[in-house]
């Protein structure tokens, strides 16, 4: 702690920041301990089972990737489509995306049974598997994110002693438009494929629908943009100085509001078409099980739809609310929460209400259940702490916002 | 400063992409084209996917045979012998890892029966489709096989399988097996922690039968353990291509159905209804 606070800071010791960093490092260390337990003892330390093989970590993996979607959205908007008004947020978005994707990889490394074989999808191909495509896209896109973040990293004062590195960073930075294009293509593929992971499973009635990939990408774009703006507003409050123009803030908020409206509209029709107006036996029985024995119906309507969708849409689109930073923070925070709860609900609802294959009437009426163990939660908090620590240090030592570095403009 | 030179260069560029960038994109596109060719025409074609694992596994079976099973639910008495024999022969010491399960059930008319469920060995298997590393595949003889050396333990196959047949090694498998030797000898190695496993129709026996010129489903010692041990002959096994195989004959004599045909998975396990139909 002391080293971070004392090296190369103009300000003297910043007490609240030190305490915050100490808390995060604490969570990180406990998280490392839990991760070691997972690697030593295997996945028996989780509450996952053969009926519910995916749980908290997959939710974290899906959420981190979705909330990292701000990176490709802002990169494409600024460096490809040249929407200059959004440029003040682009670098922060890329940095958050980098943290999101690395968090996702950490969660996945914990979740797979054989982390030593993580490279297998690269060598042994099954082009029919959505997950194979996702693995490739995520690995390639993470490389793109590294290339986008490196120039930013080399810009920090720490690298003053190695000008050639900074020079190298600038060379990479010239590739930005190409990287933005690649990043957009890869993200448009895998962000929606993550929904298709569930959407293509014909044996699972409440998942099997073409709307899942579409809803995943739209919610990812809304969530990713929200997190970028939320982190920026909070940083600017804590550092007590404006980091982006007010107009950019309001414009992004309004844009997110409209994307959210589109999402709610698609969601409405998804619900209407798959359950309200139709009565497909598989879907109906799965939804009945969910309603009767689990909280998923309640959390869907209250947290996903009302708290994560309708309320923030009103906040972001009604001007008097949008003008208030406090309302904005609340609205954006609710969207982020909504995305996380959505990923949890999608994953768990399909697993907890299993398909009925027995020819009898007793066999499959029982819903499976799952709640994470302390170790699962500790690992997840450790990974979250990594992300928060990364952003805190980045916001303090890297030129995440335009006015802090004159060097790294897009060049025209 | 280097920074200045950089920004000047940037200024001179009026287009988004420079010549070098275009070359790079062209290179990447060419690379992608090569990859696509390899994927569609080369060793990783759709046909080859079916045969994934051919190099690592000496026995792949042949298209000459296709192995099917009939389970007569009207005959099963719920003795659980098949469950135990499976656990012994396939080295499954742990009860929650059972590949072959039996449980009490009831028909809509209130008739009690015992439901049996091994792997359904779907011809269009959802688990095979989703595996990101091709660690599971449909052999030419129809058996859905697993490569434990390739599996990364992501458990997508468990999520995809609608019949709940797949089992993940949450912990190191127990080598102490209380079903051995009473219910049979272990014929296969223990699987490592962190991989998925499932019923194989006792593939080691089938491969041995072909090698020795014997007939699975007919000769003893080369049929699935659950079929051989059943005291009431509720399970029948054999080659569906052979008109005289036990399985073909049984299906000619009895009306059968498969679990959830509406999913289009084309299972190779057929069932006879627990209640005799009044025809």
Interface predicted TM-score (ipTM): 0.91
- Give the residue-averaged pLDDT of B173-186: 92
Q: What pLDDT does B9 receive?
A: 39
Q: What pLDDT does B271 receive?
A: 98
A51 in contact with B, Cβ within 8 Å: yes
B33: pLDDT strictly greater than 60: no
- Give the residue-averaged pLDDT of A281-305: 88
- In B98-137, the residues whose Cβ lies within 8 Å of chain A are 103-108, 113, 115, 117, 126, 129-135
Query: Considering CB atoms only, which of A135, A202, A204 is closest to B132?
Result: A135
- In B34-73, the residues whose Cβ lies within 8 Å of chain A are 39, 44, 46, 49, 52, 73
Tell me the CB-side half-sphere exposure of residue A287, using CA atoms within 13 A. Answer: 17
CA angle (B8 as vertex; B3, B9 as ends), nearest 5? 100
The residue that leads in pLDDT, B44 or A202, is: A202
Do the domain assignments include residue A405? no
Do the domain assignments include residue A326? yes
A360–B106: do the CB atoms touch at under 8 Å? Answer: yes
A9: pLDDT strictly greater than 50: no
- pLDDT confidence of A408, banded at 50, 70, 90? very low
B49–A127: do the CB atoms touch at under 8 Å? Answer: yes
The per-residue pLDDT of chain A, averaged, comes to 91
CA A263/CA A268 separation, integer angstroms = 8
A178–B6: do the CB atoms touch at under 8 Å? Answer: no
Do the domain assignments include residue A8? no
B41: pLDDT strictly greater than 70: no
Do the domain assignments include residue A54? yes
Give the burial class of B219: count Cβ atoms within 10 A of its Cβ; 0-12 exposed, 13-18 middle, 19 or more buried: middle
Nearest CA in chain B to A409: B7
Do the domain assignments include residue A408? no
The CATH code of the domain that includes A390 is 1.20.1630.10
- pLDDT confidence of A365, banded at 50, 70, 90? low
Q: What pLDDT does A364 receive?
A: 63
Do the domain assignments include residue A182? yes
A129–B131: do the CB atoms touch at under 8 Å? Answer: yes
Q: State pLDDT tens for residues B133-173.
A: 999 999 999 999 999 999 999 999 999 999 999 999 999 99
Do the domain assignments include residue A366? yes
Q: State pLDDT tens for residues A152-178.
A: 999 888 888 888 998 899 888 889 999
A2: pLDDT strictly greater than 60: no
B152 in contact with A, Cβ within 8 Å: yes
The residue that leads in pLDDT, A11 or B110, is: B110
Range of the domain at A44: 30-397
Nearest CA in chain B to A354: B162
Nearest CA in chain A to B117: A358
- Give the residue-averaged pLDDT of B116-135: 96
A contacts of B115 (beta carbons < 8 Å)? 358-360, 363
- B128's CB contacts (< 8 A; 6+ apart) are B122, B136, B137, B138, B144, B157
Q: What pLDDT does A59 receive?
A: 98
Do the domain assignments include residue A404? no
A89-93, B169-173, B272-276: the lowest-pLDDT one: B272-276
The number of folded domains in chain A is 1
A contacts of B73 (beta carbons < 8 Å)? 359
Q: What pLDDT does B42 receive?
A: 41
- Give the residue-averaged pLDDT of B229-242: 96
Using CA atoms, how far residue B269 sits from A358, B136, B150, B240, B251, in Å, is 13, 18, 26, 11, 11
A81 in contact with B, Cβ within 8 Å: no
B10 in contact with A, Cβ within 8 Å: yes
Query: Considering CB atoms only, which of A130, A166, A410 is closest to B130?
Result: A130
- B141's CB contacts (< 8 A; 6+ apart) are B60, B61, B62, B63, B64, B65, B66, B67, B206
B18: pLDDT strictly greater than 90: no
Query: Considering CB atoms only, which of A46, A120, A410 is closest to B150?
Result: A120
Q: What pLDDT does A198 receive?
A: 97
A contacts of B96 (beta carbons < 8 Å)? 50
Q: What pLDDT does B69 receive?
A: 98
B153–A112: do the CB atoms touch at under 8 Å? Answer: yes
A114–B160: do the CB atoms touch at under 8 Å? Answer: no
Q: What pLDDT does A158 receive?
A: 84
């Amino acid at each position: 702690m002391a080293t971070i606070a004392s090296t190369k800071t103009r300000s003297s010791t910043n007490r609240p920041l030190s305490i915050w960093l100490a808390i995060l490092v604490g969570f990180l260390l406990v998280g490392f301990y839990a991760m070691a337990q997972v690697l030593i003892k295997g996945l028996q330390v989780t509450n996952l089972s053969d009926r519910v093989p995916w749980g908290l970590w997959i939710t974290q993996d899906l959420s981190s990737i979705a909330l990292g979607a701000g990176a490709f959205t802002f990169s494409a908007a600024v460096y490809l489509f040249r929407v200059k008004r959004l440029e003040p947020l682009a670098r922060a978005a890329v940095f958050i995306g980098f943290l999101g994707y690395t968090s996702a990889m950490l969660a996945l490394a914990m979740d797979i049974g054989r982390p030593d074989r993580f490279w297998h999808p690269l060598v042994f191909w099954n082009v029919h598997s959505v997950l194979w495509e996702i693995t490739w896209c995520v690995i390639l896109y993470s490389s793109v994110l590294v290339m986008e973040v490196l120039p930013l990293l080399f810009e920090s004062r720490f690298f003053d002693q190695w000008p050639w590195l900074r020079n190298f960073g600038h060379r990479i930075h010239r590739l930005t438009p190409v990287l933005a294009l690649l990043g957009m293509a890869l993200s448009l593929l895998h962000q929606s494929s993550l929904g298709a992971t569930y959407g293509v499973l014909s044996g699972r009635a409440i998942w099997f629908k073409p709307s899942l990939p579409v809803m995943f990408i739209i919610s990812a774009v809304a969530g990713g943009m929200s997190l970028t703006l939320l982190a920026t507003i909070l940083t600017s409050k804590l550092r007590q100085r404006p980091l982006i123009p007010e107009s950019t803030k309001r414009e992004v908020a309004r844009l997110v509001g409209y994307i959210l409206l589109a999402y709610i509209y698609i969601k409405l029709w998804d619900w209407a078409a798959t359950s309200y107006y139709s009565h497909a036996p598989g879907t109906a029985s799965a939804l009945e099980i969910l309603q009767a024995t689990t909280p998923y119906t309640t959390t869907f309507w209250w947290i996903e739809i009302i708290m994560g969708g309708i309320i923030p849409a009103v906040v972001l689109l009604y001007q008097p609310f949008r003008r208030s930073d406090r309302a904005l923070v609340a609205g954006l925070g609710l969207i982020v929460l909504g995305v996380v709860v959505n990923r949890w609900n999608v994953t768990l609802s399909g697993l907890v209400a299993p398909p009925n294959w027995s020819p009898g009437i007793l066999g499959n009426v029982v819903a499976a259940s799952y709640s994470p163990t302390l170790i699962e939660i500790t690992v997840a908090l450790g990974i979250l702490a990594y992300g928060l620590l990364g952003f805190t240090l980045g916001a303090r030592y890297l030129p995440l916002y335009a006015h802090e570095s004159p060097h790294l403009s897009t060049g025209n | 400063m280097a920074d200045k030179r950089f920004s000047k260069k940037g200024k001179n560029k009026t287009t988004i992409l420079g010549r070098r960038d275009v070359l790079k994109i062209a290179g990447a596109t060419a690379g992608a084209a090569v990859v696509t060719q390899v994927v569609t025409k080369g060793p990783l074609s759709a046909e080859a996917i079916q045969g994934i694992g051919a190099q690592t596994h000496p026995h792949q079976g042949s298209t000459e045979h296709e192995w099917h099973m009939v389970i007569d639910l009207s005959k099963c008495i719920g003795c659980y012998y098949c469950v135990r024999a499976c656990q012994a022969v396939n080295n499954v010491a742990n009860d929650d890892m059972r590949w072959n399960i039996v449980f009490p059930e009831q028909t809509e008319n209130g008739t009690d029966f015992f439901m049996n469920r091994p792997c359904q060995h779907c011809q269009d298997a959802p688990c095979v489709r989703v595996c990101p590393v091709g660690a599971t595949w449909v052999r030419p003889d129809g058996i859905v096989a697993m490569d434990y050396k390739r599996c990364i333990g992501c458990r997508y196959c468990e999520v995809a399988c609608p019949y709940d047949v797949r089992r993940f090694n949450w912990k190191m498998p127990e080598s102490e097996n209380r079903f051995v030797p009473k219910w049979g000898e272990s014929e296969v190695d223990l699987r490592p922690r962190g991989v998925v496993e499932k019923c194989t129709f006792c593939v080691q026996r089938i491969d041995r039968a072909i090698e020795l010129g014997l007939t699975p489903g007919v000769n003893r010692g080369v049929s699935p353990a659950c079929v051989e041990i059943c005291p009431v002959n509720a399970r029948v096994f054999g080659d569906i291509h052979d008109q005289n195989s036990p399985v073909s004959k049984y299906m000619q004599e009895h009306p059968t159905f498969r679990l959830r045909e509406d999913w289009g998975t084309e299972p190779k396990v057929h069932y006879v209804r627990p209640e005799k139909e009044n025809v």
